[in-house]
Structure 1
């Protein structure tokens, strides 16, 4: 892009206003601007047509900028309108707007099972009322509680389910993953929790036959991997790496790959399709000697790429890569010089026209940014050093590829995943060759399993594949445990995220053109970012937080000052609920020294003291009022700032206030609805400040 003429990459410049329109719609759709946007689109479109018809009459060439400005307005409005039309929630026939006893739904994703829970997304087709079935639309996330005797739900099943659903919850705790927003970007706004006995199977095989066949084929391949590869860890990685089947993958392996910056290897995406493409290009090279051979080469390449996409269950990541490479193949077969950035933009444009909400998908963002980095940034980085030695030059070329991809995706990775792999260059160099060999051997192994007479070859290939994977794992685990292998707890704001990209863009322009003002601009952006990070760090150091978490069936209260914190909770750090609801808050507050204190423990530090159920944190006092205190009468009333009513004690508020002079009452989410209603009514009659956590955000106190 930096050295490409604008005329070589027109689609890249057309893509930007379209994406801007989609993003604006996602953030401003509720402002009621759609009517104005439609009107602006109509005016700009008509003006563009009139100017082209009357080009000579109005001497439009004198205003060459006008056509470009109108085109950008049209594309921006198009992005907005495409995103608006893609949103199913405002539709009059959305199932949430129809009263029904039952819903007829179709399973549109491959069900995933974890323990007794089976989860899948369903498309609602009908709202069932007494003596009437009304057509309906919308997607519903369904979680089934199943057992070993239950019939498994499959893709394409048509089900009759009770119309018992609820909106997806907002994130209740600070820095918690916004699952509601994540699902909304997939047009899912409601979820339903059902027992398997409540669901009736009406028909099967109602889904897309190609997707159904590809999922069946993938399951067959997964079963073959489990049959031939004895090591369960290696089998899980092979299934993930080759087929995108992640159900058997352990969290320890995911952590090792994530901390070493090689998590992309476990995501069947562009890298895997690219390896397949390179192998095919080498095998089909003799066909490219004449025009007919080039066409045959292109057709065979397209067929093989899409066959692999089908083999992996037509996952979105593989389909994206397949679309990108398909356009590269077609452009090469045409015999015309085409800039790869233009091809990249065309494929992104096509996918976003099909589904504008793909722009919110982290995988979509990372994959396109990584490819953009390889095309636009890698040549500039590669030119910075020259090596006369052939092997040193090849090594630097590989390094520049890894640096370019990591550089362009770093701000996004830091923003979403809050970590940076320090040894990414070493780990990627160590893994790139084994990964390529594993993909090639793995594909050959999977093909051999389709022919029963090739069983001996399948066993040999499985043996080689298993040991290659185990060797790669050992290398990555070794790197993971090196000192300072990764920088974690990176929490940057949206503004800081954008500043990082401005720094990268300015720095790359300086490397390309060596202009002094570009260096000055880079340093200015660095200074602004440093000031922002420093201001935030100073604020965190001088601010104290008390957080009463909403962790549903458990309880948790955080007391944080500077980089030190105490969490009083009945959860263990290894518990899923702790990692999901509490750990992100600690990381976002940069709490390095954290003490986990059980509600039954006593604890004393320089800033915190807990004696039985009474807590003193700096100048604040908190009582944990749980069932152990429900019948205790104190000899004299205790003055407390906050009373945390938790674990459903059978005490009326009047009894509590005889023992404690309370300024503020916080009611935990783990109390029963009846108990909460009673306490709320009593607090209201006594004009006592109260915060109820159930179905609400956590209660946060901030002090200097």
Structure 2
């Protein structure tokens, strides 16, 4: 739905400077300028109000642009202030700024238990130092090692007394590794604490928001009912995720199948789910339209039910956006108002970002709004490309055009974040249309019947729900395993992403406006993007390097020549450390031919020779100093370019100096703190270079 005039979509126009303000505040540290920004904001606000009051007197109608400029500047500064104020680090009571022995914190998320670790976030309330108490603020991530039943009893809203033992969240140590530090920072979390349950004192239960607490308890109860009336753990996990937004038990293999087939959006409670609920409520309350005030009561009840469902699913950005949009549409239609859907979309974004400006960095938030914007603006353009007379084929084309429009606009963002493109997205999205509706209605029916005590009927609904999920999962897994199911290893820079999204937007503009200037802009973007990708590819094929990866407990060295590589590691490719730290690096380097070997295996090829602990790569040599060599002496000394110490061998710097001649000493992250301290102490008397991987980024050495 394209607007005929910008007056139809005022919030679409006004949200642009607000987004710019938020982005500037997130990109640059502007906390020191908060006072100046606040003074500028209120000065402009007073000027704007004064000019409007004196509109006729000063003849402002002759300079209409003045009001527009002032309004846009006000909104931009408002975005800056909103973001700076939301950042807890800018508050005087932020707990890291206060000296503390212990902290009083309140759990503000649902604790998740995985691999014997209980993780949750908590907001600081009080800081105590030598008996003196001060109010505190800010959120931290807490991880408890689960070794007692007491740890399992911690829930949302509980007040805990914890020792003030926290540290900053580590950033990624290897290239292309997931940036967990940035991920948490986008949620206003900058520190984490690893604690033993016996260090934590539970002071009070259920001190949080009673509405949220009720919602989480009810959701756990409903998940339990799914487990009662269904048998397959896979189906239970998908039903809990798809209907209730509870993702704690979702398997990674299932996530991979949905991701590679372009249907991952199904597992995120979003507008489509809320729309299904809206249609169901509309059908159930349809009888109220016959009464005088029935439409008003129906509208009120529908809005209440939608927001209750939103609360039940955790109030995710996508659900809030959909709830706000549908609420406004219901109000408008109830009072026979004409509503521009694109403007409502902007209103919902404005409201949500005003509450939490950091959500602009959330991938789900970005994909959700892009998808709905594509559905509103670009789907009609695609639909008009093919005029179909057959009624049923036309309905099919409606779904296809929507899927094409959404995938086209969200593809650049998906490629930027997830580095893949689902080839069969059109078929898989068409395939899941009916199963998703059946799953939603069967799931809600199962839960409703269970609440009413009709266990026989609830079991029947649970059977339909389980079989529908298993059928859908089987179809998606078949598509995932099909040849050329997805294009992987797509690594775009931010500039390349912007070029791609700009080219696609102008492609739709060409189809709608039929102007040659839009074609020229799109072609220029494609040309620049192609040149950038080509140079990046050529540079990758020409580069040769040795990469010493930081995997904390496991050594790993990658020898790369062009798009071929040999990886020395004892990890299997199914290990979590391999998948999260090594595989992204291999994909980003576009390695097409990989030889993976454990450290005790030898290899000889055109660019690498390894025999025992000695490795020759191109014109460089490397010796792996591990426990196999810890008591050996060499006369004369062994000469090499790099000496790699791993596995905490019992050696001192004197032993190293007596036995080896090298240019750079590299100490792996798997060495103990004691061995590291010994080697660093001895290094002070040595003029050789040393690089310590522990708590440092991986070392990449380019080779000729």
TM-score for both structures, normalised by structure 2: 0.97
| Map of 1:520 onto structure 2 | 520
Corresponding residue number in structure 2 for 1:649: 649
Superposed CA deviations along residues 32-75 of structure 1, whole A, max 9, x for unmatched, are 44344334323432332232122222221222212111111111
> CA–CA distance in 2 between the matches of 1:99 and 1:105?
15
Alpha-carbon offset, residue 313 of structure 1: 4.0
CA separation in 1, counterparts of 2:131 and 2:656? 54
Instruction: Name 1:420's counterpart in structure 2.
Output: 421
Change (3 A) 1:360 1:226: same
Is it true that 1:258 corresponds to 2:264 in the alignment?
no
Measured in 1, the distance between the counterparts of 2:131 and 2:535 equals 65
Aligned to 1:300: 301
Deviates more, 1:671-680 or 1:503-512: 671-680
CA apart distance, 1:288? 4.4
Name whichever of 87-96 and 427-436 sits farther off.
87-96
Q: Hey, what does 2:460 align to over in structure 1?
A: 460
* Aligned partner of residue 182 in structure 1, secondary structure: helix
Alpha-carbon separation, structure 1, partners of 2:33 and 2:409: 33
Match of 1:386 in 2: 387
Q: Which residue does 1:245 correspond to in 2?
A: 246
d(CA) in 1 for partners of 2:624 and 2:31? 43
Match of 2:544 in 1: 544
Q: Specify the SS of the correspondent of 1:192.
A: strand
Correspondence for 1:322: 323
Quote the Cα distance in structure 2 between the aligned partners of 1:544 and 1:313. 48
Q: SS in structure 2 opposite 1:571?
A: coil
Q: Does 2:167 correspond to 1:166?
A: yes
Q: 3-state SS of the aligned residue for 1:119?
A: strand
- Asked if structure 1 preserves the Cα contact closer than 8 Å seen for 2:158 and 2:202, the reply is yes
CA-CA distance at 1:315 after TM superposition: 4.1
- Structure 1 residues 593-631: Cα deviation after superposition (integer angstroms, max 9, x where no partner): 122111111112211111111111111111111111111
Partner residue, 1:60: 60
Partners of 2:24 and 2:290 in 1: how far apart? 49
Q: 1:204 to 1:660 in 2, by over 3 A?
A: same
Equivalent residues of 1:12, 1:345 under 8 A apart? yes
Aligned to 1:489: 489
**Cα deviation 1:306-345 (Å, max 9, x = unaligned):** 2222333444443332223222222222321010011111
For 2:480, the equivalent position in structure 1 comes to 480
Separation in 2, partners of 1:131, 1:523: 68
Offset at residue 573 of structure 1 (A)? 1.1
- Paired residue for 1:310? 311
Residue of structure 1 equivalent to 2:535? 535
Instruction: Specify the alignment match of 2:672 in structure 1.
Output: 672
Q: Deviations over 1:110-155 (max 9, x none)?
A: 0000121000000111112233222111111000001353342111
Q: Match for residue 693 of structure 2?
A: 693
Counterparts of 1:418 and 1:511, CA distance in 2: 28
SS at match of 1:650: coil
Q: Does the CA contact (< 8 Å) of 2:556 and 2:569 recur in 1?
A: yes
Q: Is the 8 A contact 2:321 2:345 kept in 1?
A: no
Counterpart of 2:369 in structure 1 is 368
Contact 2:148 2:197 in 1 (8 A): no
Contact 2:601 2:612 in 1 (8 A): yes
SS of equivalent to 1:321: helix
Taking structure 1 as reference, are residues 624 and 376 closer, same or farther at Cα in structure 2, changes over 3 Å only?
same
Change (3 A) 1:140 1:31: closer
**What is the rounded CA distance, in whole Å, between the counterparts of 1:288 and 1:621 in structure 2?**
82
2-structure distance, mates of 1:321, 1:674: 55
Q: Is residue 204 from structure 1 mapped to residue 190 from structure 2 by the alignment?
A: no
Query: What's the CA shift string for 1:4-48, capped at 9, x where partnerless?
Result: 410000001111110110011101125844344334323432332
Q: Distance in 2 between matches of 1:240 and 1:298?
A: 28
- Which residue in the other structure is 1:600 paired with? 600
Task: Show structure 2 runs of 5+ residues with no match.
Answer: none
Could you say which residue in structure 2 is the equivalent of 1:627? 627
The whole-number CA distance in structure 2 between the counterparts of 1:329 and 1:353 is 23
CA contact (8 A) 2:310 2:320 kept: yes
Give yes or no for contact 1:218–1:313 (8 Å, CA) kept in 2. Answer: no
- Does the 8 Å CA contact 2:642/2:666 hold for their aligned counterparts? yes
Question: What is the SS of the residue equivalent to 1:685?
Answer: coil
Pair 155,16 (structure 1): closer, same or farther in 2 beyond 3 Å: same
TM-score by length of 1: 0.97
Distance 1:497 1:622 in 2: 39
- Measure, in 1, the Cα distance between the counterparts of 2:563 and 2:595: 11
Aligned to 1:229: 230
92-101 vs 137-146, greater mean Cα deviation: 92-101
| Whole-Å separation in 1 of the counterparts to 2:283 and 2:503 | 39
- Could you report, residue by residue, the CA deviation over 1:538-586 in whole angstroms, capped at 9, with x for unpaired residues? 1111112221111111111111121111111122111111111111111
RMSD over aligned CA atoms reads: 1.6
Partner of 1:277: 278
How far the C-alpha of 1:179 sits from its partner, in A, is 0.9
What is the aligned partner in structure 2 of residue 332 from structure 1?
Answer: 333
Is 2:123–2:138's contact at 8 Å kept on the other side of the alignment? yes
Q: Is the 8 A contact 1:569 1:599 kept in 2?
A: yes
- Partners of 1:593 and 1:458 in 2: how far apart? 53
Q: Write the distance in 2 (CA, Å) between the matches of 1:64 and 1:703.
A: 62
Residues 31, 90 of structure 2: 8 Å contact kept: no
Where structure 1 has 5 or more consecutive residues not aligned to the other structure, the ranges are none
Work out whether 1:85 is the aligned partner of 2:89.
Answer: no
Task: Indicate how the Cα distance of structure 1 residues 695 and 291 shifts in structure 2: closer, same or farther if over 3 A, else same.
Answer: farther
Distance, in Å, in 2 between the alignment partners of 1:343 and 1:478 is: 39
SS of structure 1 residue aligned to 2:323: helix
C-alpha spacing 1:695/1:154, structure 2 compared with 1 (3 Å) = same
* Alpha-carbon distance in structure 2 between the residues aligned to 1:321 and 1:353: 16
What residue in structure 2 maps to residue 129 of structure 1? 129
Supply the distance in 2 between the matched residues of 1:141 and 1:31 (Cα, whole angstroms): 23
- On the 8 A contact 1:104/1:124 being kept in 2, the answer is yes
Q: 1:36 to 1:566 in 2, by over 3 A?
A: farther
In the aligned structure 2, how far is the partner of 1:211 from the partner of 1:489? Answer: 40
Q: Report the Cα distance in structure 2 between the residues aligned to 1:336 and 1:411, rounded to whole angstroms.
A: 36
Q: Tell me, what secondary structure is at the counterpart of 2:88? A: coil
2 CA distance for matches of 1:313 and 1:41?
A: 34
Aligned-pair CA distance for 1:291: 7.2
What do residues 218-241 of structure 1 show as CA deviations (whole Å, max 9, x unaligned)?
A: 111111111111122111211111
- Closer/same/farther in 2, CA of residues 588 and 177 from structure 1, 3 Å limit: same
Equivalent-residue separation in structure 1 for 2:382 and 2:234 (angstroms):
37
SS of 1:140's equivalent in the other structure is strand
* 1:422-469 Cα distance to aligned partner (Å, 9 max, x none): 0000000000111011101111111111011x1111011111111111
CA deviation digits over 1:400-435, x for unaligned, max 9?
A: 111111111111111111111000000000001110
Counterpart CA distance in 1 for 2:35 and 2:546 is 45
